[in-house]
């Protein structure tokens, strides 16, 4: 009850008016987003644990997304950031629409992907050069997830528990170690999770790109080609759009950095799926996709 009360107080601070919390959103792996209503406005609340720099990071997120929105980017309208007790809450207006991903881990319907892809790629171009930091930590922290693992995700220990995933990890690490020593873009805003689960459409037309986050100081800026690589990873089994996404990712980031980005995504998704959804259709799909992706990455980096 104490946490629920804190979330409500933080939401009121973020929105600037009374808020009625409806309940958890229908989708979301972390279960940290809530549907709510402020007056006659439907809002989505993102709840984070408080800690050093959390409020400042979310305030920076709001500034970054508002800069994109001013350029015509289909981002949510962020209402503000609030804090109370042990939680920090960001509030945004709900964007009507349906996620490209029809269900957790399921492939996008090819017709919908084909119809929305040009607008998604156009939106990503609006991220170019829009970062706010003179020296962001990209790509160092991303490479660290490949070579050493991340905090709460990309866990090498998970991958080492099974022969099949241990082999995947060895290949991922090899690609990471053979990365270029320079040349990565660092001036773009980066969504970092531009998966079909975070892209909304209405009748095959792009409606919004949601679930932005700045989890630590310096996040949210780097190479927008990573976002293209993310969409490529999650739609790799779509033969019609895969070549265009490869071409765009390489045009932005070059072949070797694109391979590094895809290697991170293989580790991130396979590790998460094996840990949280073992033995099911999601695991089978992502392990199968990863085998194809790593083979293609190895081919272009030889």
pTM above 0.75, yes or no: yes
pLDDT over 90, % of the chain: 95
Distance, in Å, from the CA atom of 182 to the CA atom of 91, rounded to the nearest integer, reads 37
d(CA 249, CA 227): 9
What pLDDT digit, counting tens, does each position of 119-128 carry? 999 999 999 9
CATH of 98-301, one of 3.90.1200.10, 3.40.309.10, 3.40.50.300, 3.30.565.10: 3.90.1200.10
pLDDT at position 255 over 90? yes
89 phi and psi angles, rounded to 5 deg? -130, 130
Residue (of 199, 206, 267, 187) closest to 233 by Cα position: 267
Tens digit of pLDDT for each residue in 60-98?
999 999 999 999 999 999 999 999 999 999 999 999 999
CATH topology of domain 2-93: Phosphorylase Kinase; domain 1 (3.30.200)
Residue 29 has pLDDT above 80, yes or no: no
Range 166-192 average pLDDT: 96
Query: Would you say residue 21 has pLDDT above 70?
Result: yes
Per-residue model confidence (pLDDT) at position 65: 98
111: enclosing H helix or E strand: helix 110-125
pLDDT value at residue 37: 97
Taking the domains of the chain in order of start, what are their residue ranges? 2-93, 98-301
* CB neighbourhood size of 257 (10 A): 23
Greatest CA separation for the chain = 58
pLDDT band at residue 111 using 50, 70 and 90 as cut-offs: very high
**What mean pLDDT value characterizes the chain?**
96
pLDDT band (50, 70, 90) for residue 27? low
pLDDT score at 32: 86
pLDDT at 72: 98
């Amino acid at each position: 009850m104490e946490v629920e009360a804190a979330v409500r107080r933080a939401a009121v601070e973020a929105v600037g008016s009374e808020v009625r919390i409806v309940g958890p959103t229908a989708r979301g792996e972390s279960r940290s987003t809530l549907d709510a209503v402020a007056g006659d406005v439907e809002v989505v609340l993102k709840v984070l644990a408080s800690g050093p720099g959390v409020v400042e990071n979310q305030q920076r997120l709001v500034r970054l997304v508002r800069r994109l929105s001013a350029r015509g980017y289909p981002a949510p309208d962020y209402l503000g950031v609030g804090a109370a007790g042990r939680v920090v809450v960001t509030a945004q207006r709900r964007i009507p629409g349906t996620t490209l991903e029809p269900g957790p881990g399921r492939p996008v319907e090819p017709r919908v992907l084909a119809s929305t892809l040009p607008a998604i790629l156009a939106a990503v171009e609006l991220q170019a050069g829009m970062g706010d930091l003179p020296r962001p930590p990209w790509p160092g922290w991303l490479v660290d997830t490949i070579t050493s693992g991340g905090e709460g995700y990309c866990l090498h220990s998970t991958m080492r528990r099974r022969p099949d995933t241990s082999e995947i990890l060895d290949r991922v690490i090899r690609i990471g170690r053979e990365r270029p020593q320079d040349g990565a873009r660092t001036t773009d805003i980066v969504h970092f999770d531009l998966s079909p689960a975070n892209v909304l459409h209405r009748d095959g037309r792009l409606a919004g790109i949601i679930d932005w986050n700045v989890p630590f100081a310096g996040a949210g800026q780097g190479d927008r080609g990573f976002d293209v690589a993310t969409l490529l990873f999650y739609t790799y089994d779509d033969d019609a759009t895969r070549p265009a996404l490869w071409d765009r990712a390489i045009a932005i980031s070059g072949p070797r950095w694109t391979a590094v980005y895809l290697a991170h995504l293989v580790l991130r998704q396979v590790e998460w799926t094996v840990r949280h959804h073992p033995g099911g259709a999601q695991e089978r799909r992502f392990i199968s996709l990863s085998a194809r992706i790593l083979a293609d990455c190895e081919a272009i980096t030889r």
